[in-house]
Structure 1
Amino acid sequence: MGKFKLNNSFLYLVAVSGGPDSIFMLNELVKMNIQNIVVCHVNYNFRKDSNIDQKIVSNFCEKHNLKLEILDVKQNYNHLKENFESWARTIRYDFFLEMSKKHNIKNVLVAHNKNDLIETFLLQKKRKSYVKFYGLNKTTIYKGLTIVRPMLDILKSDIYKSLIKDNVSYAFDSTNEDTNYKRNEIRAKLSEDSFLDIEKEIKKLNKELEKMNLEVDWYVNNNMSADELKINKNLVDKNLEFIQRSIYKWLELINKDSIVQNRSNKTIFEIAKNIKYSQKVFWEIKIGEFYIIKDYENLFLIEANMIKPKTFIINSKEDLYLSEEFINWLDLVNAIKKNEEKYPYVISNDFTNYKLTTYAFGKRANRYLIDKKIRYKNRMLKAVVFNVKSKKILNTIK
């Protein structure tokens, strides 16, 4: 088994849990005489014996005179509502980011091996996950921090052999035996003898994925206006996977991909289905505190509180300040003044209600909105003003 290769001129944070993989990696770094490292250990206090893991890491670092940073997590796990693995990953990587700033180190080594790569791929297939890459990539970026996986060509069995040969102690994580975790269930049934065929499948799928992603990038980059994505026949005619990837890419470009991270794929799948099959000019799908909205031929993202329906009664000049709730407040005020301030008035962006009871330019407001193809984004963000008695909309709707 050959050692993994690293650029000796770089500084590295080294993620070490105390388990066999990370201890093997740390031991190899010592054998390779790579000294520009800072070891980072997270003690989640999730297991009763987690302090043993920390002690193993501390002893190793003390023996080899290595810098060690420890995050001691205080968390009542009875109150943890989210998935532990996702939560723990965020805690861990945010700690690495903090240590990166403290020590001015831009790279962190993590001990994923070939078995992890295979398990990740099989888990992706089982969950039908949206992925940018099948398996594990040798490098990824987390909030500007470069995550390096130098051990993806090394088998787990070879790691154990090396640790035994070098007489190196490591911790045993009992949760790795719990088959309630999907990864552990896959691991229990996996044989390294099958890896060659699985690796060929991964390589084939990544080649196909690379081609699709190039097409997705071209479509999204050429069909964006400001922060909106244009929906046209070139997108609608594609398969659902292509459409889903286009949505993810669009959200990434407007720096809002975080709203779909750690969420079920069902939401993006629902959006993709609507794009492909729905004939409606308008629909909306809520994602957390945001809405993704189809508005004629455009897709846009907006915070839910920005489009909350609001209606105010303006009984006198003293109430005009309420118009400032809307981005077109000056138009509203000018329309009231032009109407010689014949109070009371109604100011509202609740178009689903006012369109049925008011009139604009001699038409029922609903008919006017349809005929003029007034964008739903404008209907939501801008208000209309009408006299309580006449029900005639006084400002221009556009």
Structure 2
Amino acid sequence: MQKFKINAKFSYLVAVSGGPDSMFMLNELVKMNIKELVICHVNYNFRKDSKNDQEIVEEFCKKNHLKLETLIIEQNYSELKENFESWARKTRYDFFAEISKKYSIKNVLVAHNKNDLIETFLLQKQRKGYVKYFGLNKTSIYKDLIIVRPMLSILKSDIINSLKDEKVKYAIDSTNQDIKYERNKIRAEISEISFSQIEKEIELLNKNLEKTNLKVNWYVNNNMSADELKINKNLTDQDLEFIQRTIYRWLEVIKKDFIVQNRSNKTIFEIAKNMKVSEKVFWEINVGSYSIIKDYENLFLIDNKMIQPKTFLINSQQELYLAEEFINWLDIINAIKRNKENYPYVISNDFAKYKLDTYTLGKKTNRYLIDKKIRYKNRMLKAVVYSNKAKKILNTIK
């Protein structure tokens, strides 16, 4: 009897560690008439017996004539500066994404079972952080991959019994017994007998979450301009959880949610708190190689490379090519020509500095920027040009 269901007309990548769950899934898949299977194994070389896991997968694939792609990691784990589980997950899924492109297969089967679902939920409760979905969802997205979890209704005990009955070889991960990991502590303390009551709690929480997400989606869909999110009282009057969910949803819509997927919840909490309580018209929070910036009533995300402050001293026409560093380079060159090329000039987008040193239309530039409410995005991306002597800005700031 088929123990779980998937659409056999599709092709799949299959994540196989060599442990009982993934070997059970792989064994069941072989019994189905699947269009195409590509097995993906990652050997982290984290344990002394990691090679054994790889050999089990290789042996099964050879016996059943399955395509196998293996990633072998060479890493000094004493030098790893981030949480191993988060790092391993990103490494694993980035590998799946690479193999996905090679075979043009978008669906990835992952062998999470009912015990994993319960353990994940109890970890979520313990950590009290942002939760996109309580427990584990049947499907989720990672970059362009569709992650499918077909075994969430199957108990671990049933998996072990099936493997014994069918004499399927599998590896035992010794780190699963190490109670320094919170998940392993939870695993040691819970019993499958209690799962029914916990499942009811998960179902109720996800129903409430679905209602919240409908409101979040409505706000995001009705308050976006290009890739920017409009900030108004309909958002800032909400609680911090709602605002956090709104930020996540906005990042999903602009396809940049990957920048926060492996980061601490504190990052999004800090952004949400600033949106709710800060009265500043501008603030900036770094998120890896990006920054999330509040700019008057707008929230936008930008690659940090695009907003690096740059200043050039232009002494002659031969140096005008430096203006091409900025998106408004033609405007800058035309302003210099209108000024009859009385070198030297300064070209800069370092508004924090030039606003204090220059003048615009007879005003200190700082006062002009405030009075005209010139957007910070424009100040960061566009440059001004001014005479190095007179300090008068020659192009229009808008």
Q: TM-score, normalised by structure 1?
A: 0.90
In structure 2, stretches of 5+ residues that fail to align are: none
Amino acid at match of 2:70: L
Cα distance, 1:191 vs. partner? 1.8
Q: Contact conserved, 2:38 with 2:69, CA < 8 A, in 1? A: no
Amino acid at match of 1:73: I
- 1:125 matched residue in structure 2: 125
Cα distance, 1:284 vs. partner? 0.8
Aligned-CA RMSD value: 2.4
Q: Distance in 2 between matches of 1:298 and 1:308?
A: 20
- 2:76 matched residue in structure 1: 77
- 1:383 matched residue in structure 2: 383
Of 301-310 and 328-337, the range deviating more from structure 2: 328-337
Q: Contact conserved, 1:71 with 1:95, CA < 8 A, in 2? A: no
Cα distance, 1:371 vs. partner? 0.9
Of 214-223 and 18-27, the range deviating more from structure 2: 18-27
Q: Secondary structure at the match of 1:335?
A: helix
Cα distance, 1:240 vs. partner? 0.9
Q: Contact conserved, 1:312 with 1:348, CA < 8 A, in 2? A: yes
Q: Distance in 1 between matches of 2:140 and 2:148?
A: 7
Q: How is 1:181-330 mapped onto 2 (pairs within 5 angstroms)?
A: 181-330=181-330
Q: Distance in 1 between matches of 2:392 and 2:104?
A: 64
Of 184-193 and 125-134, the range deviating more from structure 2: 125-134
C-alpha distance after superposition, 1:68-99 (max 9, x if no partner):
51415041233444333233333433444455
C-alpha distance after superposition, 1:32-91 (max 9, x if no partner):
55465444433332211122223333444455x341514150412334443332333334
C-alpha distance after superposition, 1:223-258 (max 9, x if no partner):
111111111111111111111111111122222212
Q: Distance in 1 between matches of 2:315 and 2:99?
A: 59
- 1:395 matched residue in structure 2: 395
In structure 1, stretches of 5+ residues that fail to align are: none
Q: Secondary structure at the match of 2:146?
A: strand
Q: Distance in 1 between matches of 2:310 and 2:10?
A: 56
Q: How is 1:20-35 mapped onto 2 (pairs within 5 angstroms)?
A: 20-30=20-30, 32-34=31-33
Q: Secondary structure at the match of 2:276?
A: helix
Q: Distance in 2 between matches of 1:390 and 1:97?
A: 55
Q: How is 1:136-155 mapped onto 2 (pairs within 5 angstroms)?
A: 136-155=136-155
Change (3 A) 1:173 1:374: same
Q: Contact conserved, 2:107 with 2:148, CA < 8 A, in 1? A: yes
Structure 2 residue 66 is the aligned partner of structure 1 residue 67: yes
Structure 2 residue 7 is the aligned partner of structure 1 residue 7: yes
Q: Contact conserved, 1:100 with 1:106, CA < 8 A, in 2? A: yes
Cα distance, 1:108 vs. partner? 3.3
Q: Distance in 1 between matches of 2:375 and 2:152?
A: 51
Of 114-123 and 8-17, the range deviating more from structure 2: 8-17
Cα distance, 1:155 vs. partner? 1.3
Amino acid at match of 1:377: K
- 1:51 matched residue in structure 2: 51
Structure 2 residue 369 is the aligned partner of structure 1 residue 334: no
Q: Secondary structure at the match of 1:391?
A: coil
C-alpha distance after superposition, 1:102-143 (max 9, x if no partner):
555543332211100011111222233433221111222334
Q: Distance in 2 between matches of 1:305 and 1:8?
A: 45
Q: Contact conserved, 2:243 with 2:272, CA < 8 A, in 1? A: yes
Q: Distance in 1 between matches of 2:260 and 2:361?
A: 42
Q: Distance in 2 between matches of 1:319 and 1:26?
A: 63
Q: What percent of counterpart residues are identical?
A: 72
Q: Secondary structure at the match of 1:293?
A: strand
Amino acid at match of 1:75: E
Q: Contact conserved, 1:38 with 1:66, CA < 8 A, in 2? A: no
Q: TM-score, normalised by structure 2?
A: 0.90
Q: Secondary structure at the match of 1:133?
A: coil
Q: Contact conserved, 2:223 with 2:230, CA < 8 A, in 1? A: yes
User: How many pairs are equivalent?
Assistant: 396
Q: Secondary structure at the match of 2:334?
A: helix
Q: Distance in 1 between matches of 2:208 and 2:85?
A: 29
Change (3 A) 1:360 1:95: closer
Q: Distance in 2 between matches of 1:305 and 1:100?
A: 29
- 2:90 matched residue in structure 1: 90
Q: Contact conserved, 1:58 with 1:68, CA < 8 A, in 2? A: no
Change (3 A) 1:109 1:365: closer
Of 66-75 and 178-187, the range deviating more from structure 2: 66-75
Change (3 A) 1:184 1:376: same
Q: Contact conserved, 2:10 with 2:34, CA < 8 A, in 1? A: no
Cα distance, 1:392 vs. partner? 2.2
Q: Distance in 2 between matches of 1:126 and 1:323?
A: 54
Q: Secondary structure at the match of 1:154?
A: coil
Cα distance, 1:300 vs. partner? 1.2
Q: Distance in 2 between matches of 1:353 and 1:55?
A: 61
Of 321-330 and 295-304, the range deviating more from structure 2: 321-330
Change (3 A) 1:363 1:119: same
Of 275-284 and 35-44, the range deviating more from structure 2: 35-44
Q: Contact conserved, 2:61 with 2:68, CA < 8 A, in 1? A: no
Q: Distance in 2 between matches of 1:35 and 1:318?
A: 65
- 2:179 matched residue in structure 1: 179
Q: Distance in 2 between matches of 1:105 and 1:238?
A: 41
